[in-house]
Structure 1
C-alpha cells in the first residue's frame, strides 16, 4: 500500500457513527459552541500519539499492533504480563466502543419512531447486539466489501449533513460563544476541556490502523507517519466543518437538554430543518446502517484479538478454539457480544459521555501510556532494531502524548461524577494481574517458570542479513 491507500484506510476507521452522536455531547462538555476546542485538542493528541504508533508500527510490522509492541518491549522484566493485560483490557474497551455505536443507533431510531419508550429502546439495542452475533456465527469472508459499503454510506450521510447545514447556516448562531467561555483559571473549564479531549480522541480512534499493516506498506518509514498526519488533519477539518455547520442550524442551548431530539439525533434535526422530514428520514436510515455496520465490523475484528493472543500462548487457550464448522473464534465472539450488550445498557442508564469515559480510562493504562513507554524501552533494549521511521524531535512527541493521556485519565472521575471510571479501570487491571498469575501458573511461565526472551524482529533482521551476505558471497 502507498500513501493514498494507507491514509484512506485510517480515515475509513476514524469516521463512522461517532461524530453523529458526539457533536451534542461535545457541546454539553464545554457548555457552548466553544466545543470546537475539543475537536482541535483531540486532533493534537492524536497527532503526537500517532508518531508513537508510526515508530512502533514501522519497526515492528505485521499483525498484532499493541499486543506485539508490548510483548517485544516489556518481555525483559515482566515476561508476558503486559501483552496479557492488553488483551485483558481489550476485552472491555473494544466492546464498549461498540456499545457506543448501539447507543447511537437507538438514539437515531427514535427520530423515526418518536413513540419508542425507554424499555423498547433497551430491547432494540440488545436485539441489535444479538443479531450481530447471529450474523457473525459463520465464516465471514466479505469484510472488505462491507467496509467499502459502510464507508460509502457514511460519506453520503456526512456530505448530506454538511451541505444541509451550510444551505441554512446562521453565522451569528454558530459563533454565539457565552461570556467567559474560556476561563483558564477556572477549574470547571479544565473539567470540560478534559471531557472534550476524551470525546475528541474517541472520535479520532482509527488513526493508527495503518500501523497494524506495517509489513504491507511501501516505504513504511515515509508512508506511515504521513498517512497518520494526513488522515488526522483531514478528519479534523471534516469534524470542524460538521460541528460549526450544525451549530449554525441548531441552537446550542437546545443541545444542552439531553432528552431533546437536538441532543439524541442532531443530524436528523438539521436535515429536517433544511430539507424536510422525508429527506431527514432517508439520511437517518443511512446513519442507522452506518451504526449497525460499525458494530458488525468492530465485533468481527475484536473477537479475533483474544484468539490471536491465545494462539500465540499469551492468553487463555480456550479463546484459541475455533468453531468446528465455520472456523470463527467462538468464545471471543460470545464474550465480547455479552459485554457489548451490558455496556449498551449501562450507557442507557447513565449517558454516552460516561460510557466513553469508562472505555477510555481502561484503554489509557495498558495501551496508550504503555506504548509511550515502549518506544523508549525498545530504543534502549533493541538499539540495533531497524527503524524505517524514527520519531521526529524524540522524545518530545511521546512526552506530549503521555501528558495528554494523563489529563484524560486524571480528570475522568470529575468528568463522570459518581461513576468512578479511574477506580473501575484500576480494579479491572488488578483483576487482570490476578488472572495472569492464574494463567502463568497453569502454563508454567514467568513468574512460575522460565522467562522466555524472544527478540522476534531482531532475529528476522539477522537472518535476512545473513541470507543477503550469503547471496552476495
Structure 2
C-alpha cells in the first residue's frame, strides 16, 4: 500500500472537503505521547503504591508497559494495512466482515466511544481541577466550573485545520517532556534515598505479586499508557502511514515507559513510598521537598499544562470515530460533515466536546479510570486481537505492510493479558462494561430492523 491511500482516506472527490495527509511521524508521535501522559501518572502513582502495599509498585508499571508493547503489534499491523480515519471502528468492521458481524462490532465500538470518549475527557478535566486546587482553593462548584471551562477551551483549540493542530501538538509535547524531565532530574540529583536502594526494594519480590494487588494496580497503570494507538484514529491524516504508524506507536510506548520508570523511581527517592502513597499532589510534594513552595507552584502549573495537552490529543483522535462511522452510513449522517474550509469533522468535535462538558459537571474522578477500561476491553482490545487473527486467515501475508514477529504468539498473549486485566477491574465494573455492550446490541438490532439491514434484511438481499 502506498500514499495512494490518500484517495481512500479522503472520503470524497478532490473538489469536496476531505481529510488531508499532513501529520508527520514526529507530530503523530507527539500526539500519542501527550495523549498517554495527561494527568494520569500524577494522580495514579500514589494509588498504585497503596494498592501494592509497598515498594513492589514498580511491577505494576512494568506490567502496564508489557501489555502496551504486546498490544502495539496488533495496532501496528492493522494501522499500517488500513490507514484510514476511525481506528478501531474501521478495523473491527473489516475484520469481522463488512456486511454482517463487522457491522455489529463496529457499531458497538462507536456506541462505546460516545460514552467512554467523553468520560476520558471529563476524567482528565476533573483531574485538572483537582490539581489546580493546590494553587487555588476550590470548593465543589468552583472545581466543576474549572473542569467544564477546560473542556470548552480544548474544543475551541481543536476546531481548526489539521496543519495547525500538528504544530500545536509539538508545542504541547515539549511542555510534557520538560515537566516530566524536571521532576526526574530534580529527584535524581536531590535523592534522600539512593537509587540502588529504591531499585533493590522494588525488585525484592514478596506475596503482593501473587495477590490481587498487582491486577488492581495494573488497571491504573495501563490507563496511563492508553493512547499509544491514537495515531490509528488519525490514519487518514498521516503521511506515509505504512511506515509512520507502527514507528509512532512503538516510539511512543518506549519513550513513555522510560519516563514513567524514571518518574516513579525519582519520586520515591525524594519522598519515601510510605509518605508518597498518601499524597494528593505527589508532583507538588516532591518539588516542594526539593526546591520549596514557590517551585512546587510552578511544577503544579506545568502538570496542568500536561493534563490539558492530553485532553487535546484525546478529543482530536476520538472525534474521527463518529465521522468514519457516519461516512460509512452506520451512524447519523450529520457526523459525516467536514468543515468546508478547514477540512475537519466539526460536528463530531462539537458533539464530543458538549457531552464531555456535561460529564465533567456530573462525575467524580474516583473509579472513573477503572470504569473506562472495563468498558473498552472486550470489544476494542480483545475483539480487535481476535479480528486480526481472522484477517490473517483470509488475507495473504503481503496484505500487511507491517508484520509482527512470532505470529500468532503476540495475539494469544494479548487476548490472555486483556482478559486478566478485565477480571482485575472487579465484578461491578465487569458487569457495567458488559451491560453497556448488551445495550449496544439492543440499539444495533433496533436500528438494523428500522433500516431493514442485516440481520433483518430481506432474504434475497442477504449474503
Q: If the TM-score is normalised by the length of the shorter chain, which range does it land in? A: 0.7 to 0.9
Give a deviation string over 1:142-187, Cα, whole Å, max 9, x none. 322221121111111111111211222123684585999631685x
In structure 2, what is the equivalent of residue 198 of structure 1? 219
Give a deviation string over 1:303-354, Cα, whole Å, max 9, x none. 3321221121122334335689987543663355324542664334xx2xx2
Give a deviation string over 1:362-409, Cα, whole Å, max 9, x none. 111111001110111111223376122222111111111111110111
Matched, 1:101 2:119: no
In structure 2, what is the equivalent of residue 89 of structure 1? 112
Matched, 1:112 2:135: yes
Matched, 1:270 2:286: yes
Change (3 A) 1:55 1:302: closer
Change (3 A) 1:237 1:294: closer
Gaps (5+ residues) in structure 2?
Answer: 1-22
Output the CA distance in 2 between the equivalents of 1:412 and 1:225.
29
In structure 1, what is the equivalent of residue 355 of structure 2? 338
Alignment of 1:397-416 (within 5 A): 397-413=410-426
Output the CA distance in 2 between the equivalents of 1:323 and 1:442.
30
Output the CA distance in 1 between the equivalents of 2:72 and 2:202.
33
Matched, 1:309 2:325: yes
In structure 2, what is the equivalent of residue 468 of structure 1? none
Q: Pick from 417, 430, 454: which aligns with 2:438?
A: 430
Matched, 1:447 2:455: yes
Q: Is contact 1:214–1:220 with CA below 8 Å preserved after alignment?
A: no
Query: Aligned to 1:270, what secondary structure does the other structure show?
Result: helix
With normalisation by structure 1, the TM-score equals 0.81
In structure 2, what is the equivalent of residue 157 of structure 1? 179
In structure 1, what is the equivalent of residue 3 of structure 2? none
Gaps (5+ residues) in structure 1?
Answer: 415-419, 454-473
Q: Which region of structure 1 is more displaced relative to structure 2, 10-19 or 174-183? A: 174-183
Output the CA distance in 1 between the equivalents of 2:79 and 2:316.
22
Output the CA distance in 2 between the equivalents of 1:218 and 1:131.
31
Change (3 A) 1:396 1:80: same
Query: Aligned to 1:63, what secondary structure does the other structure show?
Result: coil
Q: Pick from 160, 171, 183: which aligns with 2:207?
A: 183
Alignment of 1:68-467 (within 5 A): 68-75=90-97, 77-113=100-136, 115-133=137-155, 135=156, 138-139=159-160, 142-171=164-193, 174=198, 177=201, 182-183=206-207, 186=210, 189=211, 191-212=212-233, 216=238, 218=240, 220=242, 225=246, 227-257=248-278, 262=279, 264-320=280-336, 328-330=345-347, 333-339=350-356, 341-342=358-359, 345-348=362-365, 351=366, 354-383=367-396, 386-413=399-426, 420-449=428-457
Give a deviation string over 1:68-119, Cα, whole Å, max 9, x none. 1111111264251111111111112222222231132122112112x32344
With normalisation by structure 2, the TM-score equals 0.83
Change (3 A) 1:265 1:335: same
Give a deviation string over 1:40-92, Cα, whole Å, max 9, x none. 10111111111111221222233322111111111264251111111111112
Q: CA RMSD in A?
A: 3.1
Q: Is contact 1:361–1:412 with CA below 8 Å preserved after alignment?
A: yes
Output the CA distance in 2 between the equivalents of 1:132 and 1:224.
25
Change (3 A) 1:431 1:317: farther
Output the CA distance in 1 between the equivalents of 2:199 and 2:360.
35
Q: CA deviation at 1:203?
A: 1.4
Output the CA distance in 2 between the equivalents of 1:150 and 1:116.
26
Q: Which region of structure 1 is more displaced relative to structure 2, 155-164 or 309-318? A: 309-318
Q: Which region of structure 1 is more displaced relative to structure 2, 436-445 or 227-236? A: 227-236
Q: CA deviation at 1:248?
A: 1.2
Query: Aligned to 1:290, what secondary structure does the other structure show?
Result: helix
Output the CA distance in 2 between the equivalents of 1:212 and 1:105.
24
In structure 2, what is the equivalent of residue 16 of structure 1? 38
Q: Which region of structure 1 is more displaced relative to structure 2, 97-106 or 376-385? A: 376-385
Q: CA deviation at 1:17?
A: 3.1
Output the CA distance in 1 between the equivalents of 2:276 and 2:67.
26
Q: Is contact 2:233–2:320 with CA below 8 Å preserved after alignment?
A: no
